[in-house]
Structure 1
Amino acid sequence: MTVKVAIAQINSVVGDLAGNAAKILSAVQSAVALHADIVVTPELSLVGYPPEDLLLRSAFYRKASETLLELARTLGQFPDVHVLVGYPLESNGVRFNAVSVLLNGQVALSYCKSELPNDTVFDERRYFSSSEIPAVFEVKGTKFGINICEDTWHPDAPRRARDAGAEVLLVPNASPFHMSKLHLRLDVMRTNVISQGMSLVYANLVGGQDELLFDGNSFVMGLDGQLSAQLKHCQSDLQTVEFDQARPLMGDIANSLSTEAQVYQALVLGVHDYVTKNGFPHVLIGMSGGVDSALTLAIAVDALGAEKVRAIMMPSPYTADISLFDSRDMVRRTGVRYDEISINDCFSSFRTTLEQEFSGLKEDATEENIQARIRGTILMALSNKYGSIVLTTGNKSEMAVGYCTLYGDMAGGFAVIKDIAKTLVYRLCEYRNSLSEVIPERILTRAPSAELRPDQTDQDSLPPYDVLDGIMALYMEENRARDEIVAAGYSIEDVERITHLIKINEYKRRQSPVGIRITHRAFGRDWRYPITSKFRD
């Protein structure tokens, strides 16, 4: 007798317990229509992930428990359907990351997470206690065990489930996206679950939560380590797979995507969810005629629609005519509202105001930063007046070495490409243009420039971006030492210069807006370096 298991890849909202319960109910209704016996939802699906310090509040656990019991009663209308729901559980003063099986109006079984991740973006030991008690239930002669996310990145919890009789392991997940993460998940599942003689159902969360992005890509894996089903990337989805004597039959497998396609879709989802979940009606983007603002605009339009995006061009005395022409060209292609507000008068007023103070001193980055700060002030004034959120346009390469202005181009509410290296910016633009050509070709071919002084280019102040990005990746993302980076083919001068800039610009990054994480190490919750430090390696 076969058992049909449904994966409900839903987009939960942190703290919206009623809304999340409604999404779970809707998914179960769809699964029941497909004759599912079991429905698996993601980790902490009832409350969203990660709830962070909401998990320190007793009221949060009480509300979660009340909502779970109410949901169980509602799901009682679907007899004999087992629904796995994740939520935070408090029992006798001890708190757990839990999953319960809801069946016939009751909580039939609960499992508490064993392995609590406490590295990179995770700090679950701050909130939860661990449990080593397995949970196994039987449906139509097949025994199903439960693990939660990190449990399966180690062999012990799967082994306990197998020893308790599990033939198929059901794994609710909130596994955040980064490039190459899908292949890593598959390899680890083969090592820790499949090798122990169990098939696997991996139900992953989808959606954006602050800087984290959950990509879905849920899957079913058979005993041979091959995929029997895979759900969509960065989309809510639902699929059922039949198990015949604990072996999955073939289901649908989503099309594989290039790295650029995966990242672009992740950025689109991240912008959509941050803006809509936080209730902003529109977004503002400062256009420059350069590649970073062009990519940010394309992502925003794809995420929200042209009617919710407004682009502002703020030319200065140093803005090239082609920057204006290219900005106008792109907004025509995307259909967004576009305005030009000159900063010439403001810049002149600042110069006049500071003329006596700066008498006898050469112009330098001070005057350049004044221009950036005027633009930031204008964007924030429009944000205040209209309730729109400003999307900043700085990339990871600039953030690394401080090639950005506090309260200037860093001013805003959400940093869309904060974790995108400059070389990847160009690849993403090319990918987007392969779908439809929204970014003018000249934006991609002209030398990048902040246009804050005559004839300026980025390479006046920085090494070539392929060099900068390579050193940044080795030092910041891979934790490589100076000598290792030099051995990889970079000059000692470039390595020392770039690593020095990374260190001394921590104070800037600490004041930057939250942005979408797409690498395995971003400048955010998994980068925690002191601003004040004398250590030099």
Structure 2
Amino acid sequence: MPNLSIHLAQPEFRLGDLDFQVTHLVEVATAAAARGADLVVFPELWLPGYPAQDLLYRGDLMPRIQAAIDQIARELSGVTAVVLGYPRPAPAPATQDPDGYARPNLYNVIGLIADGEILSEHRKRALPNYEVFDERRYFQPGSDATVVNFKGHNVGLLVCEDIWVESVLTDTLDAGADLIIAANASPYHRGKWQQRADALSAMAKRHAVPVLYANAVGGQDDLIFDGDSQAYDAQGQCVARAALFETACLATVFDGTTLSSTDAVADAPDTWGEVYDALVVGTRDYINKNGFPGVILGLSGGIDSALTLAVAVDALGADRVGAIMMPFHYTSDISKHDAAEQAMTQGVDYQSLAIVDPVNAFLDTLKPALGDGPLGTTRENLQSRTRGVLLMAMSNFGGRLVLTTGNKSELAVGYATLYGDMAGGYNVLRDVPKTWVFELSKFRNTRGMVIPERVITRPPSAELAPDQVDTDSLPDYPVLDAILAAYLDEQKSQQQIIDAGFDEADVWRVVRLVNIAEYKRRQGAPGPRITPRSFNYDRRVPITQGWDRA
């Protein structure tokens, strides 16, 4: 039996840009063929990219997909074989929903293309509908195992979720598969790489079969795909693994019994480094794939904007990043100094635009309507909204996207101003709890000191009132984040959280703030998902509801 050289590709992708997807696939596959590849595996739904969402309903979808498949088959004929994902029409459903809305008529397919034709196609059987996934909206499940004989080897084909469903895997093995290939579009959250590694290793060992796992890499809206393609021999040993968040093409060889590789097994990522790199990739790809020339942000001298600036510079380069300090009466000299220091250290365009006059102009204009009474948060929010106006004006003038700088903890409890610090097009820290902001800032400084130490150690403050600190309005952040984790991630009730040892008043206050802030979060900018329970996809609750608004 001849050796079979299988390469696992995790190249850059651009959802919906079929010309790029086809050209790039051919380039990567041709380069792999020059390294001896007999078969190159690309991610799930490479055409048109994942997740395409309601683009899959377009009337011009399948003609364009078919043309792309035909071009790939034609250009790679005699070069190498490929496995790649795409949609295929499914039979019309026998029934419709009561309102007449038909179920989707597509399969999620991977096809093995060789010598100018499709040798075999596998229809994805396990359609996930949890966390970020909504596949039953678009696809019908396949029903059969798929094993194709390729160059004398029985290759079992699976798509993403299929590999995690034991019955689907065993059906494929029972159909005679000598090795398993899984094409994936599996999005990142912190620590997922370890979960995959443990599960794939145990799977290969349990069934005594080599397992090859190819995954997408790069940012797509608020999802991040971390790559992490890997291959395990029949003893469960990892023989090759790509580094997280990097394009790669892993080479493996299967001789009918043994799986081997001359490529390295990537080192395990740093605990906070994986999260930081995910933020960089998500920011880079959102800005670049949407064609923005760069970004600007309000640099306050606080830790959230400091970390946002560091990520932006690492993602785009200093020449594409602008930072604006917008001081008011309550902005401390320390904040002004620390913001200027970071901007200088990172080499970004930096300006200081005082907001005293515009805020006073707003107050003067409002006085006939509001009277002479104390303004409280109205005055505070005017400061934030004035800053938002200036940033959006500069964005309009130069075309750079505004990055907002609020973190997940603040968004959870509504400690943010609509049309103020929430004004912008992308929120780097949208899914980053405040306690993580501190850890990520300290981590970033291990790669080179860019965030002034005092920014990390100072008590956090919005500086919208004299001597203001965040704990005037919120519990200490370690306490707040623990309550939020219990309520949002673990979905515990207030009483369960209190029984776990948290102060009763704190719990009820935090839960109330979370619930009344839902309308704000709906209007917030998107940002990279790095936890299993983000506000982007993973938590869907009504704005108007009275379940626990006590």
Instruction: Classify the TM-score, shorter chain.
Output: over 0.9
Which residue number corresponds to residue 212 of structure 1? 223
Match of 1:458 among 464, 470, 485: 470
Q: Distance in 2 between matches of 1:220 and 1:483?
A: 46
Which residue number corresponds to residue 5 of structure 1? 6
Which residue number corresponds to residue 437 of structure 2? 425
Which residue number corresponds to residue 287 of structure 1? 299
Aligned partners of 2:383 and 2:464 also within 8 Å? yes
Q: Distance in 2 between matches of 1:297 and 1:89?
A: 43
More divergent stretch after superposition (353-362 vs 271-280): 353-362
Match of 2:421 among 409, 412, 417: 409
Which residue number corresponds to residue 198 of structure 1? 209
Match of 2:404 among 386, 392, 395: 392
1:270-312 per-residue CA deviation (whole Å, 9 max, x = no partner) reads 0100000000001011110000000000000000000000111
Which residue number corresponds to residue 367 of structure 1? 379
Which residue number corresponds to residue 260 of structure 2? 249
Aligned partners of 1:158 and 1:193 also within 8 Å? no
Which residue number corresponds to residue 148 of structure 1? 159
Give the 5 Å matches for 1:235-384.
235-250=246-261, 251-384=263-396
Amino acid at match of 1:493: A
Which residue number corresponds to residue 495 of structure 1? 507
3-state SS, counterpart of residue 357 of structure 1: helix
Give the 5 Å matches for 1:98-113.
98-113=109-124
Q: CA deviation at 1:92?
A: 4.5
Match of 1:527 among 530, 539, 543: 539
3-state SS, counterpart of residue 272 of structure 2: helix
Superposed structure 1 runs of 4+ greater than 6 Å apart: none
3-state SS, counterpart of residue 175 of structure 1: coil
Match of 1:474 among 477, 486, 489: 486
Amino acid at match of 2:323: A
Amino acid at match of 2:50: Y
Q: Distance in 1 between matches of 2:151 and 2:33?
A: 16
Q: CA deviation at 1:156?
A: 1.8
Q: CA deviation at 1:182?
A: 1.3
Which residue number corresponds to residue 135 of structure 1? 146
Q: Distance in 2 between matches of 1:476 and 1:26?
A: 44
Aligned partners of 1:12 and 1:46 also within 8 Å? no
Amino acid at match of 2:86: Y
**What RMSD over aligned residues (CA atoms) do the two structures have, in Å?**
1.4
3-state SS, counterpart of residue 21 of structure 2: helix
Match of 1:234 among 239, 245, 252: 245
Q: Distance in 1 between matches of 2:391 and 2:60?
A: 39
2:517 matches 1:518:
no
Which residue number corresponds to residue 82 of structure 2? 83
More divergent stretch after superposition (473-482 vs 288-297): 473-482
Which residue number corresponds to residue 484 of structure 1? 496
Which residue number corresponds to residue 66 of structure 1? 67
Q: Distance in 2 between matches of 1:61 and 1:451?
A: 55
Match of 1:160 among 158, 162, 171: 171
3-state SS, counterpart of residue 47 of structure 1: coil
1:256-283 per-residue CA deviation (whole Å, 9 max, x = no partner) reads 1122100000000001000000000010
Q: Distance in 2 between matches of 1:246 and 1:38?
A: 18
1:242-268 per-residue CA deviation (whole Å, 9 max, x = no partner) reads 123243124411111122100000000
Q: Distance in 1 between matches of 2:484 and 2:257?
A: 46
Gaps of 5+ in 2: 93-104
TM-score scaled by length of structure 1: 0.97
Gaps of 5+ in 1: none
Which residue number corresponds to residue 96 of structure 2? none
1:410-467 per-residue CA deviation (whole Å, 9 max, x = no partner) reads 0000011100001100111111100100111111111111111111111111100000
Aligned partners of 2:10 and 2:249 also within 8 Å? yes
Amino acid at match of 1:170: I
Q: CA deviation at 1:198?
A: 2.2
Q: CA deviation at 1:487?
A: 3.4
Q: Distance in 2 between matches of 1:74 and 1:529?
A: 48
1:331-369 per-residue CA deviation (whole Å, 9 max, x = no partner) reads 111000001111110011111112232224213111100
Q: Distance in 2 between matches of 1:424 and 1:480?
A: 22
Q: Distance in 2 between matches of 1:259 and 1:389?
A: 30
3-state SS, counterpart of residue 211 of structure 2: strand
Q: Distance in 1 between matches of 2:337 and 2:229?
A: 44
More divergent stretch after superposition (133-142 vs 172-181): 133-142
Which residue number corresponds to residue 99 of structure 2? none
Aligned partners of 1:152 and 1:192 also within 8 Å? no
* Number of aligned residues: 535
Amino acid at match of 1:279: G
3-state SS, counterpart of residue 406 of structure 1: coil
Match of 2:125 among 85, 108, 114: 114
3-state SS, counterpart of residue 98 of structure 1: strand
Q: Distance in 2 between matches of 1:151 and 1:98?
A: 12
Q: Distance in 2 between matches of 1:4 and 1:485?
A: 54
3-state SS, counterpart of residue 9 of structure 2: strand
Q: Distance in 1 between matches of 2:137 and 2:90?
A: 17
More divergent stretch after superposition (98-107 vs 85-94): 85-94
Aligned partners of 2:343 and 2:349 also within 8 Å? yes
3-state SS, counterpart of residue 109 of structure 1: strand
Q: Distance in 2 between matches of 1:189 and 1:480?
A: 31
Aligned partners of 1:168 and 1:246 also within 8 Å? no
